[in-house]
Structure 1
């Protein structure tokens, strides 16, 4: 069986998890834009103060940090710091031909950890709570990378 086809249930599991994470990253970007629009604040570049259809009467105060917008921006940045490692390690993990049960546990676990991290960040939970979910996702990615190294060097 070719490992990188949807006929391989491990690859199909990866494909679903990776696609959900693509939607998470892209959706968070749109969430930030939505928050900037509804708060009429949180702009980041001086050229954003040029009048236009979306912002007909710009004000320099729109460049000041706005926690409502910045929280979404921080969530997005955190996704961009963590999810690409999953995409890479997960695809390599598929090529190591792991058991389906292990792939399911790890890949679903990563997705759930990232969604829980988002929920904790969005609802202003403690750093310890966010760090717990980050740690689960991080350990999963590290395990997948080590599994690939072990398989490749064995």
Structure 2
């Protein structure tokens, strides 16, 4: 159940960040990605070439989403195989909680334009959790 809660939160995070990017694109009427996005539609009644120009807030959200895509799927996979080894419950809760908190802290750091070292610290913390779970699985499977 601890994995299910952490996984559900991270699925909501990764999907929510994609929606946040769309909200920002709509709010700023900018940050569209492809030339075909400049076709006139009910949602883009007045297409303009400048809509393809990068917008700082939209690009920040895209980078946040890209970072989620780099780390959350690995957590989902590693966490799922980790629970099949029947680890101590306290350890599973600790690792899952730590990963979720690290991702939320990374989001805060990105959203508030903290420097790279701050963001990298939170990314690294979550990454270490994922690697620990993968190594745990290998140890259980091979020993």
Runs of 4+ in structure 1 displaced over 3 angstroms? Answer: none
Offset at residue 65 of structure 1 (A): 0.8
- 1:108 lines up with 2:102 in the alignment: no
Q: Which runs of 5+ in 2 are unaligned?
A: none
The aligned counterpart of 2:5 is 16
Offset at residue 98 of structure 1 (A): 0.3
Offset at residue 54 of structure 1 (A): 1.1
Q: CA RMSD in A?
A: 0.4
TM-score by length of 2: 0.99
Q: Which runs of 5+ in 1 are unaligned?
A: 1-11
- 1:147 lines up with 2:112 in the alignment: no
The aligned counterpart of 1:127 is 116
* Cα separation, 1, equivalents of 2:29 and 2:62: 15
* Residue-pair matches, total: 143
* Cα separation, 2, equivalents of 1:55 and 1:123: 30
* Cα separation, 2, equivalents of 1:20 and 1:153: 31
* Cα separation, 1, equivalents of 2:67 and 2:48: 29
* Aligned counterparts, 1:2-151, within 5 A: 12-151=1-140
* Cα separation, 2, equivalents of 1:87 and 1:30: 20
Kindly provide the CA deviation profile for residues 65-107 of structure 1, in whole angstroms up to 9, marking residues without a partner as x: 1111000000001000110000000001001110011001100
* Cα separation, 2, equivalents of 1:62 and 1:74: 19
* Cα separation, 2, equivalents of 1:52 and 1:92: 45
Offset at residue 53 of structure 1 (A): 1.0
* Cα separation, 2, equivalents of 1:141 and 1:101: 16
